[in-house]
Amino acid sequence: MERHVLVVYPHPDDETFASGGTIALHTRAGTPVTYLCGTLGQMGRNMGKPFFANRETLPAVREKELRAACEALGIRDLRLMGLRDKTVEFEDQEELADRILAVMREIRPSLVITYYPGFAVHPDHNALGAATVRAVEKLPPEERPVVHCSAFARDTREKLGDPDVIIDISSVRDVKLAAIRAHRSQSEAMMARMERDPAYRAQREATLRQEVYWTYRV
Amino acid sequence: MGPIDAAAVQSALDRFAGREVYLHLETTNGAYAARDSENAMAICAYIRNGRVRYHRGVIRGDGPYRVGLKMDEGWIYAEGLTDWEVDAEGRLLMAGHDSEGRLAIALELSLTPFRM
Ligand SMILES: [Zn+2]
């Protein structure tokens, strides 16, 4: 059992899609989880299906959805970093790392979950993953938490090999689904497609059985 | 937001003409476009809180619609607009959504800055 888990992702819903099952397993085991969420996903394309949000209402909608998803997953400590969607890579990277480091010094996590720098497709994912790794590097070796990274770039397995951490989340499948539904503006189109497209459904179902990570060797 | 009523949008465009306005202009095909299709690139551009003044603003088309804003020294152009509203803050919000309800383009005008 972990002492405290720190999750660092840039967008509301990253925690759910990438790690919802893993987080639910930790909170059910009584491990506190802190989620440092970089942005409010202000520039998201999904507005609901049929759409109910617009570019200007989306941040508030997504913050509300995020809080509901955290509730479903058992996350009691949600911290918003206040960055803007799509701009994370343009911020001062040392300053970002120092903000994450300050949280690590405060909560002393035994495990950190983030995106694998360079293998997480969205520039915000890669930038915040890199800042998190940088923050861990700033700690003395004996104080460094284990770092598990989520990755989904096409060349991930070719370059990094197979994931070394495979979490069976079938026991918390419904919790992950509830969190996905909580992110209504982002998941409605996906849910509708699952209904009508069996191949897509099979692909999504796999993400409700298992979550995988690559340990980042700092 | 609801489907564009071209005449109503036209009168809204006329109301902003000749004034200094804040502009949000954006187009995107999604951050995952390059991953989801071998032949695609992720494309996105946005300007938030550009300060502009146009003397002629026109909506054209049968839906999706095009809007052109003619400035003293230049143009602002958007194509693919499907939906619109004037929100509670008096801002003119226009957007183009695809069949999945995803935003592909947005053109917005306001007399006060858009929130960061
Ligand atoms: Zn994301």
For position A166, which CATH number holds?
A: 3.40.50.10320
pLDDT tens for residues A27-58?
999 999 999 999 999 999 999 998 999 999 99
Averaged pLDDT for residues A132-150: 98
Q: What's the one-letter identity of residue B4?
A: I
Strands A146-150 and A111-115, bridge-based pairing: parallel
pLDDT tens-digit readout, A58-107: 999 999 999 999 999 999 999 999 999 999 999 999 999 999 999 999 99
What is the rounded distance in angstroms from the CA atom of residue B21 to the CA atom of residue A4?
49
Which string of b and e fits A138-158 if b means at least 16 CB within 10 Å? beeeeeebbbbbbbbbeebee
Tell me which chain A residue has its CA closest to the CA of residue B46. A43
- The whole-chain average pLDDT of chain A stands at 97
Please tell me the distance from the alpha carbon of residue A11 to that of residue A36, in angstroms, as a whole number: 10
- Identify the three-state secondary structure at position B108: strand
- Mean pLDDT for A177-181 is 98
Q: Would an 8 Å CB–CB cutoff place A84 in contact with chain B?
A: yes
pLDDT at position B36, please? 74
Residue B85 has pLDDT above 90, yes or no: yes
Q: Which residues of A67-87 are buried (b: 16+ CB within 10 A; e: fewer)?
A: ebbbebbbbeebeebebbbbb
Domain count of the fold of chain A: 1
Instruction: Compute the distance between CA of residue A7 and CA of residue A20 in angstroms, rounded to an integer.
Output: 11
| Among B74, B77, B84, CA closest to B10 | B84
Which band of pLDDT confidence, cut at 50, 70 and 90, is reported for residue A139? Answer: very high
C-alpha distances (whole Å) from A21 to each of A18, A40, A126, B113 are 8, 21, 22, 40
A80 lies within 8 A of chain B by CB: no
Other Cβ atoms closer than 10 A to A99: 18
B45-68: average pLDDT: 96
Tell if the CB–CB gap between B100 and A43 is shorter than 8 Å.
no
All residues at 6 or more sequence positions from B40 whose CB lies less than 8 Å from its CB, including other chains: B29, B33, B34
* CB contact at 8 A, B53 and B71: yes
Average of pLDDT values for A146-166?
A: 97
User: What pTM was estimated for this model as a whole?
Assistant: 0.92
Note the pLDDT of residue B40. 80
Does residue B26 contact residue B46 with C-beta atoms inside 8 Å?
A: yes
Assign A108 a pLDDT band (cuts: 50, 70, 90).
very high
Domains of chain B, by residue range, sit at 1-21+86-104
d(CA A144, CA A138): 9
Residue A87 lies in domain: 5-215
Polymer length in residues for chain B = 116
CB B58 within 8 A of CB B51: no
Can you tell me the distance from the alpha carbon of A49 to that of A164, in angstroms, rounded to the nearest whole number? 37
Report whether pLDDT(B33) > 90.
no
The answer to whether residue B32 scores a pLDDT higher than 90 is: no
Which secondary-structure segment (H or E) carries A207?
Answer: none
A184 phi, psi to nearest 5 deg? -55, -45
Chain B interface test: which of A39, A55, A156 (most B C-beta within 10 Å):
A55
Q: Which of B102, B109, B114, B115 to mutate to test the interface with A (most CBs of A within 10 A)?
A: B102
Q: Position of tokens 């809007």?
A: B67
Q: How many CB atoms lie within 10 A of CB A182?
A: 23
